[in-house]
């Protein structure tokens, strides 16, 4: 059956957006927004349902013009830590305005949980509040997805084999009690979005945590050891952190330890995945993600 609704995707070439584009394509016309059209050229050449538009997400007038005829819009803004605080919030609010003015019926905004002090969380949660205000004054309706901690982030801080042969998961910014709500973003977000858009009214104004499994670092290490058949341990260092993948990495993990990634679920972390697992029962566990590729997350050899 040929699709009859247009879904636009802002952030379409990223981990989140590309997963969404791929999953929606058979059922919807997809209009992918990117700053560099060539990134999606080969996919577009094979898919008549995919159109690609070159738009800077900061250019609100251009975003609005390119949203003409769009039924639903998925938005994931990029957190650029080289920019001053509030830049992401401004971009997100501009996109919300553009969507409402263009007559978009459903906005699915990739937010992050409220009450977490780290900047990407604050900026995105502020856009979520703004989208709620705009929904009260327009015909646009919202759904919010809140991505957990990508399983692929582990590649930035791989385990290291110590002199005694044990493979160590080394952290200084978080401790043995800190929970990481893990998600296989690249494969699992798309099917969730597809399920939401099959019946968006059911999820109107809901904040949906997108999480496959919530684990502590000792649990992450134990599962890795079982899957890769190596002895492992979690190690919490007390000196200057080794893991510094981007500006803000240390502060962000400290906030995960002190406040929790999903503050509203403090003390009931096992419940974080409940809504997403109903939307997509195939959600990957940490073990399934590791088993998907034998060479994934190789440890650094001694």
Ligand X SMILES: NC(=O)c1ccc[n+]([C@@H]2O[C@H](COP(=O)([O-])OP(=O)(O)OC[C@H]3O[C@@H](n4cnc5c(N)ncnc54)[C@H](OP(=O)(O)O)[C@@H]3O)[C@@H](O)[C@H]2O)c1
Which residues lie near ligand X (CB under 6 A)? Answer: 11, 13-17, 34-36, 39, 57, 76-80, 112, 120, 147, 149-150, 153
Query: 16 near 77, Cβ under 8 Å?
Result: no
Report the C-alpha gap between 200 and 196 in whole angstroms.
5
Query: 276 near 208, Cβ under 8 Å?
Result: yes
Nearer of residues 37 and 49 to ligand X, judged by Cβ: 37
Nearer of residues 81 and 299 to ligand X, judged by Cβ: 81
- Work out how close the CB of 267 gets to ligand X at its nearest, in angstroms, rounded to a whole number: 22
Nearer of residues 249 and 299 to ligand X, judged by Cβ: 249
List, in order, residues 6 or more apart from 83 with CB less than 8 Å away: none
- Work out how close the CB of 83 gets to ligand X at its nearest, in angstroms, rounded to a whole number: 8
Residue with smallest beta-carbon separation from ligand X = 14
Nearer of residues 231 and 247 to ligand X, judged by Cβ: 247
List, in order, residues 6 or more apart from 278 with CB less than 8 Å away: none
- Work out how close the CB of 36 gets to ligand X at its nearest, in angstroms, rounded to a whole number: 5
- Work out how close the CB of 294 gets to ligand X at its nearest, in angstroms, rounded to a whole number: 23
Q: Measuring CA to CA, which residue among 144, 137, 64 is closest to residue 110?
A: 144
Nearer of residues 105 and 243 to ligand X, judged by Cβ: 243
Q: Measuring CA to CA, which residue among 89, 128, 131 is closest to residue 111?
A: 128
- Work out how close the CB of 240 gets to ligand X at its nearest, in angstroms, rounded to a whole number: 23
Report the C-alpha gap between 112 and 129 in whole angstroms.
11
Report the C-alpha gap between 24 and 105 in whole angstroms.
17
Query: 188 near 19, Cβ under 8 Å?
Result: yes
- Work out how close the CB of 162 gets to ligand X at its nearest, in angstroms, rounded to a whole number: 27
- Work out how close the CB of 139 gets to ligand X at its nearest, in angstroms, rounded to a whole number: 27
- Work out how close the CB of 214 gets to ligand X at its nearest, in angstroms, rounded to a whole number: 13
Residue that has been written with the tokens 């080794």 in this structure: 242
Nearer of residues 4 and 35 to ligand X, judged by Cβ: 35
Report the C-alpha gap between 203 and 196 in whole angstroms.
7
Report the C-alpha gap between 148 and 243 in whole angstroms.
19
Nearer of residues 13 and 187 to ligand X, judged by Cβ: 13
Residue 50: beta bridge partners? 30
Nearer of residues 16 and 23 to ligand X, judged by Cβ: 16
Helix (DSSP H) and strand (DSSP E) numbers for the chain:
10, 13
List, in order, residues 6 or more apart from 90 with CB less than 8 Å away: none
């Amino acid at each position: 059956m040929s699709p009859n609704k247009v879904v636009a995707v802002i952030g379409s070439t990223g981990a989140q957006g590309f997963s969404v584009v791929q999953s929606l394509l058979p059922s919807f016309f997809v209009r992918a927004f990117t700053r560099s059209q060539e990134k999606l050229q080969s996919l577009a050449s094979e898919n008549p349902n995919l159109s690609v538009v070159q738009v800077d997400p900061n250019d609100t007038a251009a975003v609005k013009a390119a949203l003409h005829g769009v039924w639903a819009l998925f938005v994931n803004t990029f957190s650029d830590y080289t920019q001053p605080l509030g830049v992401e919030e401004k971009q997100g609010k501009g996109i919300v305005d553009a969507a409402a003015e263009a007559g978009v019926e459903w906005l699915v905004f990739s937010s992050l949980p409220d009450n977490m002090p780290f900047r990407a969380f604050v900026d995105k949660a502020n856009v979520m509040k703004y989208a709620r205000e705009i929904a009260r004054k327009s015909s646009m309706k919202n759904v919010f997805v809140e991505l957990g901690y990508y399983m692929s982030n582990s590649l930035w801080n791989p385990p290291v084999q110590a002199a005694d042969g044990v493979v160590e998961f080394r952290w200084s910014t978080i401790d043995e009690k800190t929970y990481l709500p893990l998600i296989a973003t690249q494969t699992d977000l798309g099917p969730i979005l597809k399920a939401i858009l099959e019946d968006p009214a059911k999820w109107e104004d809901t904040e949906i945590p997108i999480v496959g499994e919530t684990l502590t670092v000792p649990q992450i290490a134990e599962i890795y050891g079982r899957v890769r058949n190596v002895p492992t341990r979690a190690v919490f260092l007390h000196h200057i952190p080794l893991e510094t993948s981007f500006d803000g990495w240390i502060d962000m993990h400290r906030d995960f330890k002190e406040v929790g990634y999903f503050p509203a679920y403090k003390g009931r972390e096992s419940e974080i995945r409940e809504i997403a697992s109903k939307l997509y029962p195939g959600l990957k566990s940490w073990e399934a993600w590791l088993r998907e590729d034998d060479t994934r997350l190789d440890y650094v050899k001694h």
